[in-house]
């Protein structure tokens, strides 16, 4: 009979252990307090503005605080290395290789996944310049006077500008006496708009996805494989994070590992921002409301900041 109290005691211990195990399991779904705020780096490009807005809207509906700051590409990487930024959705490869890869190779920045396939990034001209016979970068210098010996880029420190400057430094295609014009995405496109209204010649950085491809009649120059990569600067865009972020912030990390975009998606959101003047988060929210099935893949295995299933919460917040 002495064994009966022992058995009851053991049973009591076993029963008492059940709530503890449940609590431990629940605590494993919770992230550190530092993960409740997700800080994105932006770089002044409408495509990254659009993708950052799409991600931010979903994270906010999950109960996180999503913030972003617009900086140059080098500052974005230095910021991820230093822990000032958590996420950057705009690692265009291979054009950004010289900037991003040193951080990644040293383990200072992580590259969890590709988020966009089929992009491109190289030099472009108005279609009437193509029609006049300028179809390759090798044709540019023959018409240097019509171009004013200028190659128009975007913000200083951008990888595309760096590639243009390298072409000038190398005297590639006879461009050694040409000048890079630093500007911004908006400034460069304003110049394109002004010049195409009078059929003036201009060569500039062009890329897809972007509304410039439908707002202007433009063409891309061949021959830049050694600088922008093959297939007219064919590009893949990657998600980058500060080192260890996906493991440290497992729930947000799962979302980032699920997150991918399409050319049509980005073109539509960018069009709402650039052409219709919508706030980027309003444009992102409207797109998601119109395409709620996108969330099924994005939120697979993702919970709210409080540990509840994420998909129904976000769909409810969007009203779908």
In a domain, 22, yes or no: no
Report, as an integer, the average pLDDT of 283-303. Answer: 98
pLDDT at 224 over 70: yes
Cis ω before 114 (30° cut-off from 0): no
Q: What angle do CA 239, 242, 244 make, to 5 degrees?
A: 105
What pLDDT shows up at residue 127?
A: 98
pLDDT at 12 over 80: no
Q: Check whether residue 78 and residue 131 sit in a common domain.
A: no
In a domain, 297, yes or no: yes
pLDDT at 17 over 70: no
Domain termination residue (choose one: 185, 205, 233): 233
Instruction: Name the residue range of residue 141's domain.
Output: 120-233
Kindly state the percentage of the chain with pLDDT values over 70: 91
Residues 294, 262 contacting (CB under 8 angstroms)? no
Number of domains in the chain: 2
Residues 252, 59 contacting (CB under 8 angstroms)? yes
Tokens of 126: 């108005």
What pLDDT shows up at residue 24?
A: 35
**pLDDT per position as a tens digit, 80-128:** 999 999 999 999 999 999 999 999 999 999 999 999 999 999 999 999 9
Q: pLDDT averaged over the chain?
A: 91
What pLDDT shows up at residue 215?
A: 92
What pLDDT shows up at residue 20?
A: 35
What pLDDT shows up at residue 31?
A: 81
Strand ranges, E, within 153-233: 179-181, 204-208, 218-220
**pLDDT per position as a tens digit, 49-74:** 999 999 999 999 999 999 999 999 99
pTM: 0.83
Which of 219, 141, 220, 134 is closest to 173 using CA atoms?
Answer: 141
Q: Check whether residue 212 and residue 249 sit in a common domain.
A: no
């Amino acid at each position: 009979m002495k064994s009966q109290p022992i058995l009851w005691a053991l049973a009591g211990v076993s029963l008492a252990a059940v709530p503890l195990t449940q609590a431990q399991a629940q605590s494993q779904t919770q992230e550190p307090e530092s993960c409740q705020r997700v800080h994105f780096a932006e770089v002044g490009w409408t495509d990254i503005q659009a993708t950052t807005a799409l991600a931010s809207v979903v994270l906010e509906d999950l109960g996180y605080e999503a913030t972003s700051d617009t900086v140059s590409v080098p500052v974005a990487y230095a910021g991820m290395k230093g822990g000032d930024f958590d996420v950057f959705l705009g690692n265009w490869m291979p054009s950004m290789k010289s900037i991003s890869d040193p951080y990644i190779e040293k383990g200072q920045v992580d590259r969890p996944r590709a988020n966009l396939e089929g992009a491109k990034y190289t030099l472009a001209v108005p279609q009437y310049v193509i029609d006049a016979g300028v179809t390759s970068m090798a044709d540019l210098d023959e018409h240097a006077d019509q171009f004013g010996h200028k190659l128009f880029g975007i913000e200083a420190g951008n990888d595309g500008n760096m590639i243009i400057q390298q072409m000038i430094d190398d005297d590639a295609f006879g461009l050694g006496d040409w000048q890079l014009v630093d500007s911004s995405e908006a400034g460069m496109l304003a110049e394109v708009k002004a010049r195409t209204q009078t059929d003036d010649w201009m060569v500039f950085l062009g890329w897809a996805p972007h509304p410039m491809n439908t707002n202007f009649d433009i063409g891309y120059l061949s021959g830049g494989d050694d600088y922008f990569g093959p297939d007219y600067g064919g590009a893949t865009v990657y998600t980058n994070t500060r080192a260890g972020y996906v493991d440290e912030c497992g729930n947000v990390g799962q979302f980032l590992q699920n997150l991918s975009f399409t050319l049509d998606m980005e073109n539509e959101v960018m069009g709402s921002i650039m052409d219709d003047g919508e706030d980027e988060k309003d444009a992102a929210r409207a797109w998601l409301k119109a395409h709620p099935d996108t969330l099924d893949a994005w939120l697979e295995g993702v919970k709210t900041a409080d540990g509840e299933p994420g998909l129904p919460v976000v769909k409810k917040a969007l009203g779908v």
